Structure 1
Amino acid sequence: MKNRWVADHLLQFDISKVRFQVVAVIFIILWAILWGRAFYLQIVIGPELRAMSSKQHLMTQLVEAKRGNIYDRNGQILARSVEVKSIYAHPKQISDPDFTAKTLAPILDLDEKKLAERLKQDRSFIWLKRKIDDATASTVQQTNLPGIGLSTEYERVYPYKHLAGQLLGFVGVDNKGLEGVERAFNDVLVGNSQKQVVPRDIAGRALYDINDKESRGEDLHLTIDVQLQFIAEEVISKAVETNNAKWGGVLIADAKTSNILAWAQYPFFNPNNFRNYSAEIYRNRLAADALEPGSTFKPLIVAGALENKIIDLDTKFDTENGVWTLEHIKIGKDKKPFTIGDDGRAYKELTTEEILAYSSNIGMAKITQTMGAKITRQFLLDMGFGNSTDIGLAESKGIIRPLRDWSEADLLSTGFGQSISATALQMVQAFNILANDGERVHLHIIKDESSENVAEQRVFSRKVAREVLKMMETVVDGNGTGKNARIAGVRVAGKTGTAQKAGSADTSGYGDMRMASFIGIVPADNPKYIIYVLLDDLDKNSYGGRLAAPVFQEIAQRSMAYSGDLPDVIFASESNKFTGETLSLKPQKRQTIKNGIVPDVTRQTLKKALEIFNEFGQLPEIIGNGMYVVKQEPPAGTKVIVRDENNKEKIISHTYKLYLSLPKEPENDGQIQSNKGTEK
């Protein structure tokens, strides 16, 4: 009995022990499995899981920096960036590409089939449509489609539309400058776009926008004056259309600071719609096109000869009765004798001053012949020809051939602005030397007061610079070719130019087309503006004195009126179409646009009137010449700002016009009728 009891208890004890051991083993196995699973998840495939988690809850987004603004010298915005939305997709997160494409295609105006194919790509990110309007962005956001999101980007806007279009250039879809100032100073303007990690919701949308203020690009302040730019563009556009030219350009520089104040080209280019224009239109020709300058080059050659004491003001040259044939120089395929003509005008002996005033090609050729190729070429290099002006824009260096390549024909032709090529920018730089008493001063397009009018090199003596300016005055006010550039009461130094253009590729020599130009400095006795005008691809009967000089006159007169530098003049009632009596110049208090109405700017100077409208963000059209406003449209008191049904202010669109009084022409213009002719 006793032994059986012991045996039963031992058996019961063994079974309990076995159960404990079994349970312990099970727990150990489960514990090992859990630790093994944790090890597998954390160590073996942990990095992969973490990456998957990040893809689900975080997104790497390119934060596009806001591009810096571009301003004129007075703080007017010429280019700025505004926020826009772009549509992107994460194809790997889209479970039903066909449905997504069917929903988005009509909203984005895309082909449904092609969109579906794109959404089926094995890619983590694709752009669907860049820089869309707000209404489209709102509609896409309301669809709540998985894998579809909106990103903030910036679009470049040019508030003044075509104003200085070729100079400003434009920006591509990826915020990169492609032409003009936008391209040349892209590194300054573009800022620092960067990738940042942003949390997103279940639909794949960013939970918040990233602030990019710290990465914003720097602003640029140009030396351009919006008002002078407007004047230059208005006048050159009329001249190109009237004379049926291919294109025209104007540069205005401030002689006292060497700043470029206006950079105008026509046909116009509106960078807001750059895709609608060809490269021929948006090309910045005033810096990029090197052309033979023609007779506007002559004052510079005269200055070089005077500086090197090869001639003086009274030196005379025989101008061969208007035709000079050099039998020993053969040109062209036909080996014809090299002949220089004075365009039908017959002169005999002329002094240096008369050669410049009458624009004698023969006289100028004999001056360069006397100088020789070595001195002539070195002098051109000293003035900056053959090299870029380093203004910061993409520009041509022009053509000044190596000395070994100069033929006698090249030397003679250089005297009247052929056999070399120069940009409009280089021409302004060269004449800026004359305006600055013989010192070469660096031109600027970026406003930097610390570097204004810093001399780089003395090219002429002060005496030579002033002698040449005086001769250029004779071109305008004496018996020269520039009488159409005269401004009543103002001393004008100028030079006309008419350059033949090279013929077609299959012909040698020059064709029938011409480039007419005029360069002037006003006032000649205290230089303020240097203005260069050119009209390109004109017919063979076109001349700078006839076509370009009047353009200069109007631009110079209106520019001086704007800056308040025109002298007091008498306004003739017979010339004034807008008032029946002589304008009474009574002082007035400064007007401003207040209470939403147009102020009265009549009897104000043009400068003050433009300042008033400028404060309101308007550029009025200027009609007529003169210094004072005699009529305005719309009239004073016209409502400009009204309130809509929501009591919000809105601006009524108006075309603003200012009519100027016209100065009386002098009774005797001093023209001598003998030896009358047109310049070459």
Structure 2
Amino acid sequence: MWKPWENESETQRIRRQKERYRDDKRWQIIDERKNDPMGRLHTRHRKKLMICGACVFLAMLLLIGRLGYVMIFQAQYYLSRAEELHERERVIKASRGRILDTNGIVLADNKTVCTISVIHSQIQDAEAVIHMLTSELGLDEAQVRKRVEKVSSIERIQTNVSKETGDKIREYNMAGVKVDEDYKRYYPYETLASRVLGFTGSDNQGILGLEAKYDALLSGNSGQILTLTDAWGIELEGAEESRKEPVAGSDLYTSLDYNIQAYAEQLADRTLEAKGAKRVSIIVMNPQNGELLAMVNAPEYNLNTPYELNIEITEEDSSKSKMDLLNMMWRNFCINDTYEPGSVFKMVTATAALETGVAHLSDSYTCGGNTKVGDRTIRCHKTTGHGTQTFTETVMNRSVSVWKNKIKSGGRNLSKKVKLCLVFLNFRIILSIARK
């Protein structure tokens, strides 16, 4: 039988023996691993280490990618966030616009006040600060101590402090004590046109009347001061300060006339006392264009102290809360309440009666205090009647019975004249508005 290795050379024989030896050795190792559990465990551990290493490498790769993204694409965002943490913002209040009458007389103005605050991180001698603020502001020591020792970026101690007191506190030059100037609404004529002007709250925002209606126009835009601080909130010396100046509110010119308003209020107060009425309302308008020259709701209240009642609380009012009484005091009855314009319309009726000959200035009439119209009895405000009076006095006293008889006797001619008067008045008003 022929054997393939009989004719091989010595070199080929040696190579074949080496290959056979390697094959035998490989199978021997495999057999040993099959019979050796520690070998199998070692293989599994090495696979786990390779998987863990791959995961760690992948995580590091993701972290490096995220870090690169933040440093390249979000650098400006995090820079601004870091600046915000090191910047302290202080608001500069804008001066509120004034309210003036038609002649330029100031009806609502501003006066400078101060806001006292403390910055806890900057205070060096807390006891000295507490003692100074207590004595200068007249506050309770426990209340001041609580606010001074409170850990916050800035703590407000008191607002609306007079400028004189604020300047005195500033002269102490105590670390951590801030004195910022502010504005407070001030009404030089106190009660003048109180329900028309309205008033502002502690934040200087309009609450009622013209102050609320034109708040956006009067408010202006506040400014701000940005200062750099360290990690403890202490301002850095020599650091540049960013300042945005406030923009003052616009002035509001009204059609009110101070002289007419003041006289109308004096007249209303006298009438209030003479008649013993609960309230008296007066409206004075320019008949050429309908402009409002005066509006009175007596008794008026003090605009500088709008939360103080202007009347004594009676038994009837004792059951009402103070807020209800204040709302009643603030109410503008001239525009918030409805009524039958009989007394106002008598001016038109009187004019028509004179022109048609139904009445004459020399006529005299007797008022019995009431009259019957259909199935309804209408009474004068003076139920006992005004007695005998002239034509002019009937207009002044608003005698219901007299005017009912005039209208009845005037018939259609009086009715036509009244309609013509109304058309003429409306035309004059529309023409005046068109000219403006």
TM class by shorter chain equals: 0.5 to 0.7
Aligned residue number for residue 264 of structure 1? 296
Residues 212, 363 of structure 1: CA spacing in aligned structure 2 closer, same or farther, 3 A cutoff?
same
Q: 1:290 aligns with which of 309, 313, 338?
A: 338
Residues 299, 79 of structure 1: CA spacing in aligned structure 2 closer, same or farther, 3 A cutoff?
closer
Structure 1 residue 299, shift from structure 2 partner: 6.0
Aligned residue number for residue 156 of structure 2? 127
Q: 1:167 aligns with which of 191, 196, 201?
A: 196
Structure 1 CA distance for aligned equivalents of residues 289 and 266 of structure 2: 25
Deviations 1:446-466 (A, max 9, x none): xxxxx98327xxxxxxxxxxx
Deviations 1:542-561 (A, max 9, x none): xxxxxxxxxxxxxxxxxxxx
Residues 49, 97 of structure 1: CA spacing in aligned structure 2 closer, same or farther, 3 A cutoff?
farther
Structure 1 residue 136, shift from structure 2 partner: 1.6
Instruction: Return 5+ residue gaps in structure 2 as ranges.
Output: 1-66, 311-325, 359-367, 387-393, 412-418
Structure 2 CA distance for aligned equivalents of residues 126 and 228 of structure 1: 47
Q: 1:454 aligns with which of 430, 433, 436?
A: 433
Whichever residue aligns with residue 60 of structure 1, its letter is: E
Q: TM-score with structure 2 length normalisation?
A: 0.58
Tell me if structure 1 keeps the 8 A contact 2:114–2:163: yes
Aligned residue number for residue 114 of structure 2? 85
Structure 1 residue 63, shift from structure 2 partner: 2.4
Structure 1 residue 291, shift from structure 2 partner: 4.1
Aligned residue number for residue 254 of structure 2? 222
Tell me if structure 2 keeps the 8 A contact 1:144–1:203: no
Structure 1 residue 75, shift from structure 2 partner: 1.4
Structure 1 residue 129, shift from structure 2 partner: 0.9
Aligned residue number for residue 437 of structure 1? 424
Structure 1 residue 143, shift from structure 2 partner: 3.2
Structure 2 CA distance for aligned equivalents of residues 263 and 341 of structure 1: 27
Percent identity, aligned pairs only?
25
Structure 2 CA distance for aligned equivalents of residues 124 and 60 of structure 1: 10
Structure 1 residue 361, shift from structure 2 partner: 4.8
Structure 2 CA distance for aligned equivalents of residues 436 and 198 of structure 1: 66
Q: TM-score with structure 1 length normalisation?
A: 0.39
Structure 1 CA distance for aligned equivalents of residues 259 and 385 of structure 2: 41
Structure 1 residue 174, shift from structure 2 partner: 0.8
- Which protein has the bigger helix share? 2
- For 1:137, what is the secondary structure of its paired residue? helix
Structure 1 residue 195, shift from structure 2 partner: 4.3
Q: What is the number of equivalent residue pairs in this alignment?
A: 324
Structure 2 CA distance for aligned equivalents of residues 102 and 128 of structure 1: 13
Structure 1 residue 220, shift from structure 2 partner: 0.7
Aligned residue number for residue 569 of structure 1? none
Whichever residue aligns with residue 453 of structure 1, its letter is: S
Structure 2 CA distance for aligned equivalents of residues 88 and 204 of structure 1: 19
Tell me if structure 1 keeps the 8 A contact 2:116–2:178: yes
Q: 2:166 aligns with which of 122, 137, 150?
A: 137
Tell me if structure 1 keeps the 8 A contact 2:224–2:245: no
Residues 113, 247 of structure 1: CA spacing in aligned structure 2 closer, same or farther, 3 A cutoff?
same
Q: Which has the higher contact order (CA 8 A, sep 6+)?
A: 2
Q: 2:266 aligns with which of 224, 229, 234?
A: 234
Tell me if structure 1 keeps the 8 A contact 2:119–2:154: yes
Whichever residue aligns with residue 300 of structure 2, its letter is: F
- For 2:178, what is the secondary structure of its paired residue? strand
Q: How does 1:302-341 map onto structure 2 within 5 Å?
A: 338-340=376-378
Structure 1 residue 179, shift from structure 2 partner: 1.8
Whichever residue aligns with residue 236 of structure 1, its letter is: A
Structure 1 residue 226, shift from structure 2 partner: 1.6
Structure 1 residue 67, shift from structure 2 partner: 0.9
- The two structures, once aligned, show a CA RMSD in angstroms of 5.1
Tell me if structure 2 keeps the 8 A contact 1:147–1:203: no
Residues 212, 77 of structure 1: CA spacing in aligned structure 2 closer, same or farther, 3 A cutoff?
farther
Residues 121, 365 of structure 1: CA spacing in aligned structure 2 closer, same or farther, 3 A cutoff?
farther
